[in-house]
Amino acid sequence: MEFIEVENKHKEKYEAFVNNQFESTCMQMWQWAEFRNQLSPNLYNRLGIIDKEGNFHLTASYAINRFKYIGNILYIPQGPIWRSAEALKLFEEKIVDFARRKNCIAVICDPRVKKDDGKFKDLEKVNFLFTDEAVQPRVTIFLDLSKSEDEILQSFSKNTRYNIRYALRKGIKIKKFSEPKDASRIVGFYELLLSTQKRKYFYVQPIEYFESLWDTFSREGRITLFEAFYKDSHLGSILLINTDKFAISLFSASSPQYSNLKPLYLMRWESIKEAKLRGCKFYDFFGATDSQDESHPFFYTTQHKLGFSKDFQKFAGTFEIVLNPLKYKMWRFMEDMGIFKFYEKTFIRQFRERNVNKKN
């Protein structure tokens, strides 16, 4: 097997591998690097392990975050993804030299592996140190789409099924958009997202982020925007990204107006049906919490999602290879001032601080 820097000529086989792995997410899709590079040229690139036939056994879409005076951090979001321990071993051997050439002081990754599965042990065997922290939210909820539509609906909680039917009876309408020509819909989605942020603090990227996301993913039929309406009022939106195997509910936004008509339940159901129609095997709600602490930023949205599925997926967190211990220690001390954030150390803390200030 061979360690390579992935080029455009590898796209078909790269996608064939990534888009059909259980551990994959949108952040390892081919389109994710393309979209992020529209915003920050050359931020993202891809690495891989291939066999003699050019088929992938490991993929890693990565970004290099640069910190003045300290050095760089090579970060692999929700990756790497690998098929065999042999491929991972070769990757670990090669990534160290590769990262040093890029003036990196550490490699950080957060693949979707669980503490009790074999892939966690694979990482430990090849000198990836487990940190028990998280850059991305490590808990999500899956919904199995292999059953019939009626069986899926019946698997929802009684209250969720009632709310879906209630929204239909009350005249909630769902529109969906998926073409490049629908780019103008992002403006309305973004306005609703900012409105949601005012009620429930969370970080919102600039609108250019979403415009680029739409431009990149819609050109290859990998994104759908759902909008819920009552009469002329826009009540909610969901952005769904999909491959041939999985669908990811990446962003959602809502209005408090007419919330009693339960528009979000019907909109969620329509997005689930669309994922099944596209041949996806499971639906990823992308972000939840198993915490019973009501101050957790995902607590209430998780309660909504649990009405559709109780299949919690909890992944381990981050692993790292430290190449320069002294500089890495300095970076850890200064990380809150940098662009790189550990989710559980920064986002949750900022959420709670913001909401305490709002109450006061």
Whether residues 344 and 252 fall in one domain: no
For 38, 44, 45, the CA distances from 32, given in Å and listed in that order, are: 10, 9, 10
| Beta strand extents in the chain (DSSP E only) | 2-5, 44-50, 56-67, 71-76, 81-82, 104-109, 129-130, 139-144, 173-177, 223-230, 233-242, 246-254, 282-284, 311-314, 319-322
Asked whether residue 60 carries a pLDDT value surpassing 60, the answer given is yes
20 & 56 share domain: yes
Is the domain of 155 the same as that of 274? yes
The CATH number of residue 300's host domain is 3.40.630.30
Please state the pTM of the whole predicted model. Answer: 0.89
For 332-346, what is each residue's pLDDT tens digit? Answer: 877 655 555 555 555
Is the same domain home to 38 and 99? yes
pLDDT digits (tens, 9 = 90+) for 253-281: 888 889 999 999 999 999 999 999 999 99
The residue range of the domain holding 296 is 139-313
Q: For residues 278-288, give the mean pLDDT.
A: 92
- Residue range 41-52, pLDDT digits in tens: 999 999 999 999
pLDDT of residue 194: 87
Looking at the structure, tell me whether residues 17 and 78 fall in a common domain.
yes
Sequence letter at residue 39: L
Shared domain for 116 and 154, answered yes or no, is no
Residue 357, pLDDT > 50, answer no
Question: What's the pLDDT at 69?
Answer: 82
Residues 88 and 217 both lie in one domain: no
**Radius of gyration of the chain from its Cα atoms, rounded to whole angstroms:** 21
Q: Tens digit of pLDDT for each residue in 9-59?
A: 999 999 999 988 888 889 999 999 999 999 999 999 999 999 999 999 999
